[in-house]
Amino acid sequence: MSKLYHKYKIAIYTLVIFILVGVVAMIYRDIRYLFLFFGIGLVDATSRVLVVHYPRLLQFFRLTLLVLVGGGLFVGICLIIGVNFQFIEIFFDLSAWIVTGALIQLIVARLILPFFAGNAFCSRACWNGIFFEFTNPKKHKKKPKKRSPLLAWAYIVFLVILGFGVAFFAPVNPAEDQMVRSWWIIGENLLIMGGGFFLTLSWGSRAYCRTLCPFITISSIIAPYSLLKITPVAANQCTGCNACNNACPMYIDVLQAVKDRKRVSDSMCILCERCVSSCKPKVLKVATRLPKHNPKEENSFGSAKLEH
């Protein structure tokens, strides 16, 4: 029983957390939110169970999950029901004293879930993320644009001013008019994906995510304290091949964490597990803690292979 629990514990945690969030959202809003979060939790937990049995298909399962959840949210909730999940909608809604999906997404995906799974929403549920995943250049830029916290927070301030400005001074507040809101949904998403695509060409992969996106700027405050992190579970097996760093779309120095025998605590990690999939000796894994100290392993670590 305990073996089974250890094998599937991440899937179990995932399902339980989504159900709890769904129950809270149901109490606050209505039963549809329970079904929504239960559905997302079930799909996510299923993909994690499948990964245990077919680790080589990790990226296939993750991308399938991303397309199902992200695509489902975009088509079902954004386009059909007309709920705008983008950041600026929060300020339209606040001006009209209403609460919709944008604020719920901010609270659930950016302030609650990051304590459990960091910025994993970005690699498993964001529909803009789907676009960036499939349009990322295959080759890494040697000198990608580095993240500037000043620029990221300035962008948030700009969005807040724009949001309240439109809500109070435009003829119609998008929060109060379905048609106007639909145009914002289409316009904003085209702008983010189009702008993000061109930024990627000169600034490197996931450029919009790394430099501007307000959602990750907020969840990145909590992400370093996440329960789940990329963890070197067999650091002594590392060959120093650098494949993990080359695979990381967020340009995180995974190898340094392996050398330091630390979990990856970079605030920008989106838990996409590309580093895990790219590591042939299976050094890396998503885990809740480092493996127990092993003096034998300590002696062999870095002795032959990690000398750079």
Task: Kindly list the residues in this chain that would bind ligand SF4 in the complex (CB under 6 A).
Answer: 122, 126, 128-129, 208-209, 213, 215-216, 230, 238-244, 247-248, 250, 252, 254-255, 258, 264, 269-275, 278-279, 281, 283-284
In the bound complex, what is the minimum distance in angstroms from residue 278's beta carbon to ligand SF4? 6
CA 122 to chain centre: 2
Residues 6+ apart with CB under 8 A from 225: 114, 115
Residue 84 or 173: the one with the smaller Cβ distance to ligand SF4 is: 84
In the bound complex, what is the minimum distance in angstroms from residue 219's beta carbon to ligand SF4? 8
Residue 43 or 254: the one with the smaller Cβ distance to ligand SF4 is: 254
In the bound complex, what is the minimum distance in angstroms from residue 286's beta carbon to ligand SF4? 8
Max intra-chain CA distance, the chain: 71
**Count of CA atoms in the C-beta half-sphere (13 A) of 91:** 16
**Count of CA atoms in the C-beta half-sphere (13 A) of 134:** 12
Residue 173 or 200: the one with the smaller Cβ distance to ligand SF4 is: 200
**Count of CA atoms in the C-beta half-sphere (13 A) of 252:** 24
In the bound complex, what is the minimum distance in angstroms from residue 118's beta carbon to ligand SF4? 8
Residues 6+ apart with CB under 8 A from 172: 180
Residue 93 or 273: the one with the smaller Cβ distance to ligand SF4 is: 273
Residue 11 or 216: the one with the smaller Cβ distance to ligand SF4 is: 216
Which of 269, 193, 200 lies closest to 231 in space, CA to CA? Answer: 269
In the bound complex, what is the minimum distance in angstroms from residue 139's beta carbon to ligand SF4? 16
Which runs of E-coded beta strand occur in the chain?
Answer: 229-232, 284-287
Residue 185 or 250: the one with the smaller Cβ distance to ligand SF4 is: 250
From CA 230, how far away is CA 265, in angstroms rounded? 8
Which phi and psi angles does 286 have, rounded to 5°? -80, 125
In the bound complex, what is the minimum distance in angstroms from residue 30's beta carbon to ligand SF4? 25
